Amino acid sequence: MKKYINIGAKIIICILLVSNLASCRSAHELNKLGIVMGVGIDKGIKTEPIELTLQLVNVSGGKTPSKGSDGGASNTGYLNLKEKGKSISEAAKAFSRKLNRRLFFSHNQVIILGKNAAEEGVEKYMDFFLRYRETRLLTWVLVSKGPAGEIFNINPALETTPGMNIGELIKNERDVSQIPTVDLKDFASKLMSKTTAPVAPIIEVSKDDDKKIAYLSETAVFKKDKMVGALGKRETRGLLWVTNRVKDGVVVLGTEDDNKVNIITTRSKSKVTPEIKDNEPSIKIEIEQEGDLQEQTSSEDLVNPKAFAKLEKVEGEVIKEEVTAALQKSRELNADIFGFGDIIYQHYPRQWTKLEKDWEQIFKNMQVDVSVDAKLRRTGRITKPIMSKEE
């Protein structure tokens, strides 16, 4: 009898396991999905303050019209659609009137905020993307200098969709270290911080041989949830040095005879240390950088200890100037882009309660010491320059 009970139990367990494996409750057919590759948010009209642009992949392979009645542009690889609404959810639901597919956000690459929308405040837009279960927290966040919807109308040269092209552009920036790469998780965490100011790369349109291209130009700076200004290239890299985000990139040094020496960064490390003395907070920034001689435009022989020491000193000064420029700009905008407030709170939680209410004024006047230790390691495959003075 016991034998038959064991056999019956095993049969029941197998049936339950098989029934779970065969479940298709949450499955979606590809030909019934509108796969979103890019989201653009612009300021709308008073009654419908949000203009939402979605870029969808044309998985059918059929040709779509170059311009639709909604003003969206498309080619064989993608389709752009626009809708207005009082909220992101309302605008997204409105697409069902013109699209016979269910919107699918899991493959979305970028969220682009139009400058007008960014300056007005972005918290009301972020709630949807953080709450909706299909949205990935690794989606890139950018700000466009013009309308966000226009960025999706630029045909990429190498990728199938502009959304995918911008996503790959951002990934490339993680290696070349010129513009900060900001995903939804990072941007949202800064928004929720009481002191740290969020930043995001700025994307704009330019012409190259009469062809429009999208490129990353500057860094948008937010105060709370509103864009208040931008960092230039020099100030942006100053921010990257402090926040330990420089993995690569060239440091250009000017010599006495107005020639240029380019140092390629191979390793970089930064350390930010807070200190409170007599109720006065201060910050110490220590940056270690190593690089190789990548290029020079003079005939001077730089491969000797004396020349190396001189180049290292000049390079340290250049890096310090970039950090100082970023600090000065952040103080002008009254935006703590470095996260100094959060760092002080982590080290001195009790003292922070007294500093928090006056943090904006403290940040403007706080002493910040910057030290840079730059080292030049290698010279590449040659030692002497090709335009050597020796005969």
Tell me which residue range forms the domain holding 325. 232-378
Cβ contact 347:272 at 8 Å? no
Phi-psi region of 177 (alpha: psi -120 to 50; beta: other; left: phi over 0): left
pLDDT band at 69 (very low <50, low <70, confident <90, very high): very low
**Alpha carbon of 349 to those of 96, 203, 356, 357: distances in Å?**
50, 38, 10, 14
Residue 63, pLDDT above cutoff 80: no
Taking Cα atoms as reference points, which of 245, 113, 233 lies closest to residue 184? 113
Instruction: Summarize pLDDT for 25-56 with one digit per residue, the tens.
Output: 556 676 788 999 999 999 988 888 999 999 99
201 plus 249 within the same structural domain: no
Answer with the one of 195, 213, 230 that is the final residue of a domain.
230
Instruction: Give yes or no: residues 48 and 161 share one domain.
Output: yes
- Determine the distance from the C-alpha atom of residue 365 to the mean position of all C-alpha atoms in its chain, rounded to a whole number: 29
Does 248 share its domain with 138?
Answer: no
Question: In what side-by-side order are the strands of the sheet with 280-296?
Answer: 250-254, 260-277, 280-296, 367-378
Q: Are 174 and 75 in contact (CB under 8 A)?
A: no
Q: pLDDT value at position 46?
A: 85
Write down the pTM of the prediction: 0.86
Q: CB of 179 within 8 A of CB of 219?
A: yes
250 DSSP β-pair partners: 264
pLDDT at 47: 86
Does 7 map to a domain?
no
| pLDDT at residue 26, rounded to an integer | 58
pLDDT in tens, 234-285: 999 999 999 999 988 899 987 666 678 899 999 999 999 999 998 899 999 9
Residues 6+ apart with CB under 8 A from 11: none
- Report the amino acid identity of residue 346: Q
Q: Number of structural domains, the chain?
A: 2
Q: How many CA atoms lie within 13 A of 128 on its CB side?
A: 17
Same structural domain, 139 and 210: yes
What digits encode the pLDDT tens for the residues 332-373? Answer: 999 999 999 999 999 999 999 999 999 999 999 999 999 999
Distances (CA, A) of 5 to 8, 11, 16, 17, 158: 5, 10, 17, 19, 64
Q: Tokens for 85, please give them.
A: 């609404």
Question: Is residue 152 domain-shared with residue 191, that is, in the same domain?
Answer: yes
Q: Are residues 260 and 294 in the same domain?
A: yes
pLDDT band, residue 176 (cuts 50/70/90) = confident
94 and 177 assigned to the same domain: yes
Q: Has residue 255 been placed in a domain?
A: yes
Kindly indicate the confidence band of residue 206, based on its pLDDT and cuts at 50, 70 and 90: confident
Confidence of residue 379 (pLDDT cuts 50, 70, 90): confident
Q: Same domain for 249 and 175? A: no
Any domain includes 290 = yes
CB contact at 8 A, 372 and 287? yes
CATH at 367: 3.30.300.210
- Domain boundary, last residue among 165, 197, 230: 230
> Are residues 267 and 340 both part of a single domain?
yes
Write phi, then psi, for 270 (nearest 5 degrees).
Answer: -125, 150
Asked, for residue 16, whether it belongs to a domain, the answer is: no
